[in-house]
Structure 1
Amino acid sequence: MAKPNITLVQGDITEQDMDAVVNAANSSLLGGGGVDGAIHRKGGPEILAECRRLRAGHYGRGLATGQAVATTAGRLPARWVIHTVGPVWNPGEDRSVLLASCHRESLRVARELGARTVAFPAISTGVYRWPIDDAARIAVQTLREEGEGFEELRFVLFNKQAYDAFAAAL
């Protein structure tokens, strides 16, 4: 089994010229803060329009934590946005299976789309407060286990602390 090509970059996920970028979305799919807000702002109204159609159909109650669904990338350089809802950190409950599921399900959707390159943010590490070192460990491990067959799987980290945590996990 060939190891997946996992790369790291410190930067802005909305500027990544990849087949797909993963959005750390909220369950409403209607935009929010952090990565989600940035993707919706820079990607334009086409993304929100597709998210509204998803909500009007199969995802009437929103997207469940750990699941993933794709839309157009609108004005982003990517072709698709894969929306996934990360778990909120809870020190009294191990929710790492859900965080791993975000990455696994995003890869599944990417394969269904025919994406060869996928960019991931540090899912759940912003307002959902997941400790960056633990999130990096789970994300890297999941992509190593599930990422075979992609040309490149890229973690796009917003700051040096996140970059260093992912570099250590890699």
Structure 2
Amino acid sequence: MWRRKTMRLELQKLNIEEGSSQSFAFEETSVGDLPGVALLEPVTGQFVLSNLGIGYQFSGAFSARVSQPCVRCLDPVVEDVEFDVNETYLLNGEDDPDQEDVFALESDVLDVSDVVRQHLLIEVTEFPLCKEDCKGLCPECGANLNSIMCSHQKSLEEK
């Protein structure tokens, strides 16, 4: 098994014969822009690259530890994310709109960072909560109501 520290695979240098596969272990500290999500640890995983003759099959299992703000109180929410990727890249082909996991391979360098980033973003919790009963922020002063009860909340409770 080969160790990779990058998502750019130089296919000519890998020299995978048609009908053969090669396995890789992977660790990457950055997979591109993750709006609203902080990568706390490198994305890690294992993947297999198979030469299909007409292109390449990229299949792998990945994991990452991320943080994003609670949607109610903005405290950080840490999440361990696991996801699988299974994509086909065709040589001298075009993207197939009928098959969402088939893409054109336009050079002998296969950069899979974008597809890994996309799968990571799909798996991250869309509306993270620090806890199920998070009280959020006071709309008047912005105080975190999980930590303190501000004077605005006291006056609302008295009414």
**Structure-1-length-normalised TM-score:** 0.26
- Greater fraction of residues in strand: 2
Select the structure of larger CA radius of gyration.
Answer: 2
Which of 1 and 2 has higher RCO (CA within 8 Å, sep 6+)?
1
- Greater fraction of residues in helix: 1
**Structure-2-length-normalised TM-score:** 0.27
